[in-house]
Amino acid sequence: MREKDQAIEIIGPEGVPLHFPAATLSERVMAFGVDMALLFLGVACVLILFVMAGAGSGSASIMGIGIVLAFLIQHGYFIVFETHWQGATPGKRLLRLKVVSRDGAGLQTDAVIARNLMRDVELFVPAAAVSAPEQLYGDAPWWMIAPTAIWLLVMLLMPVLSRERTRVGDLVGGTLVVRIPKAELQSDEAARSSLMPGLPQGDAITFTTQQLGHYGERELETLADLIRKIDQGKVTPYDLQIVATTIAQKIGFGGDLPNRLPERFLRSFYKQQRAHLERRLLFGQRKSSKYDG
């Protein structure tokens, strides 16, 4: 049974809220399991090859190089993939997940490094404490062990306790793990939401990617304010026609529909423009205004 989806809201610099489906705990665990299996395979192959080469040549330095290389693979696997695969590892890509910046900007290398270096503290140290507590605690009294054990438990259970399924590394790096929606479902949803109440499904207005790419978050927020005023009855039909025809001219939308049905045109454009910006932000492509590339 699928866990209940959580929507993550990211507020852009212009105050425009953008929404993404959060990765569920089971999805993150499965993705991590795939990555750990691949990582274990790679480290094991490197160690076996260098140990065999070292044993054959009688050189301890070759085996030492193998150990260093295995260490680099272990700690660089997630960093390299998330940096060069737009926030995804093989496991995340298989589960259609990716890491994004909490502030909506492009994923930075320092954020990727920070979130992954914390993995030793939040996962491997608690695992060592459970499997070999005597190595970690030694002969320490219980009143010293108890706070440490509680702290390690909180670190380990953070993805379970937090609403957005964030772990400590996400908090340190300022990142979130989201699910990548299927493109065809996004398009369908945009078409459905562009309809005014009472209109049949076939009457949806659709815009091309080029038309939706003309404006950014600042213009979207301005349009959102206008729609709020429409709902409050504070906009005249003449003003609606002026705004709708101006936008249509700017984006190259032909026909007289913006002049005949300006409210329907503006609502359709707002819904699809917002969905377009959300898709761009999902891939770290922020467009703050029409002046951005």
Tens digit of pLDDT for each residue in 236-282?
888 888 899 899 988 988 888 888 888 889 988 888 888 888 777 66
Q: Band of the pLDDT at 19, cuts 50, 70, 90?
A: confident
Instruction: Give pLDDT tens digits for 83-108.
Output: 988 889 999 999 989 898 887 666 78
What residues pair up with 22 in beta bridges, in sequence order? 178
- Per the model's pLDDT, the better-predicted residue between 113 and 22 turns out to be 113
Question: What is the reported pLDDT for 288?
Answer: 62
d(CA 288, CA 293): 9
Question: What is the reported pLDDT for 198?
Answer: 45
Closest to 21 measured CA to CA, from 192, 237, 185, 220: 185
Question: What is the reported pLDDT for 101?
Answer: 83
Residue 31: count other Cβ atoms within 10 Å of its Cβ: 22
Q: How many CA atoms lie within 13 A of 258 on its CB side?
A: 21
Q: Show the DSSP H helices in the chain as ranges.
A: 25-57, 60-84, 90-94, 109-117, 119, 125-131, 133-137, 142-161, 168-173, 183-193, 209-212, 217-231, 237-251, 257-260, 262-282
Question: What is the reported pLDDT for 166?
Answer: 83
Residue 14 has pLDDT above 60, yes or no: no
Three-state DSSP class for 211? helix
Identify the top-confidence range among 56-65, 74-83, 166-175, 248-257.
74-83
Closest to 42 measured CA to CA, from 88, 90, 85: 90
Mean pLDDT in the chain? 78
Residue 182 has pLDDT above 70, yes or no: no
